[in-house]
Amino acid sequence: MADTLEFNQRAQDFRTEYDAVFREIGKVIVGSADIVHGVLTCLFVGGHALLEGVPGLGKTLLVRTLSQVLDLKFNRIQFTPDLMPSDIIGTNIINETAEGQRVFSFQPGPLFAQIVLADEINRATPKTQSALLEAMQEHSVTVGGTIHRLEEPFFVMATQNPIEQEGTYPLPEAQLDRFFFKLVVNYATREELSIILDRTTKGHDPKPERVMDGARIRHWQQLVREVLVAPPVQDYAIRLTLATHPGGPFVAAVANKYIRCGASPRAAQALVLAAKVRALLQGRVNVSFDDIRTVYYPALRHRILLNFEAQAENIPSDNVLADILKEVKEKEAGAA
């Protein structure tokens, strides 16, 4: 009983601090509540976020504002076709000591921060994009055979433009899989655009306050992992993932028709972890089926590879996932 009361109190403290971060971001960012919640979910599970949307929708501003609210070191990297891996990772340079000796020393690149904004990531060449892989997965980089650890917590928030294809390079599937969520940023509504104009054309310049540091974030990341998941709920997340595998025993009919390569085990991990965050925010200490469904699209939309038939018919991945979600039931047929 004491352990339950302690956990409930910690969960309440988490909601209080989460709401504080959300409110501070709301001082600058108008609307886009789902996108903000998605980014914060990535933050509190230790994942990375990919924000996709046309220019001018506030993707970069959102990440900048997040860095202002959190007491973390922030760097922005503008990805361009001529950007080299050493430009973001760093390199060994020759320094001269007081005794006149020349020695190699490591000069860290902008990747050595706690929040890294990879702006227009799809403008860089695959060689430079791949330089992020080790950092995103291992939270370290290797230069000259030496491993350099990145400071925790470490997050990559990347943006990309979905419509401008000239001068861009599609992200490799392996790198896409490293992003916890892919969040699609849409246009502001009429009411939201009115508020944006009031804030930006009348001299109103809100300043968000810092409300959380790295140690506190890591504390809440541990709390998220303590949320309970009942076996049937976890199995539901597993079957939703396996339903994307063409030719597999749990495959959905639409997946056999339109998917060339299904989601990896990271998809199931993302479903469960993100659902745990949602459960805490809803005042529960256990994950529900609805939690899994709510985080389903951002967790899987970038982890399935559509075949030529789907591309020829211009069918987006979200439509395929919607059909899978309808077909996969909460409990497997014949289960007690």
Q: By C-alpha distance, which of 27, 48, 29 is closest to 38?
A: 48
156-166 pLDDT, tens digit each: 998 887 766 66
Q: By C-alpha distance, which of 270, 77, 78 is closest to 183?
A: 270
pLDDT band at 218 (very low <50, low <70, confident <90, very high): very high
Residue 9 Rama label (left phi>0; alpha psi -120 to 50; beta): alpha
Is residue 313 within 8 Å of 248, Cβ to Cβ? no
12-64 pLDDT, tens digit each: 889 999 999 998 988 888 878 888 899 999 999 999 999 888 777 778 888 88
Is the confidence at residue 145, as pLDDT, over 80? no
Is the confidence at residue 125, as pLDDT, over 70? yes
Q: Which domains does the chain have, with CATH numbers?
A: 1-83+111-226 (3.40.50.300), 227-331 (1.10.8.80)
pLDDT value at residue 336: 46
Q: What is this structure's pTM?
A: 0.87
Is residue 240 within 8 Å of 291, Cβ to Cβ? no
Is residue 118 within 8 Å of 132, Cβ to Cβ? yes
Residues 191, 195, 198, CA angle at the centre, nearest 5°?
A: 140
159-193 pLDDT, tens digit each: 887 766 665 777 878 888 889 999 988 888 888 88
pLDDT band at 276 (very low <50, low <70, confident <90, very high): very high
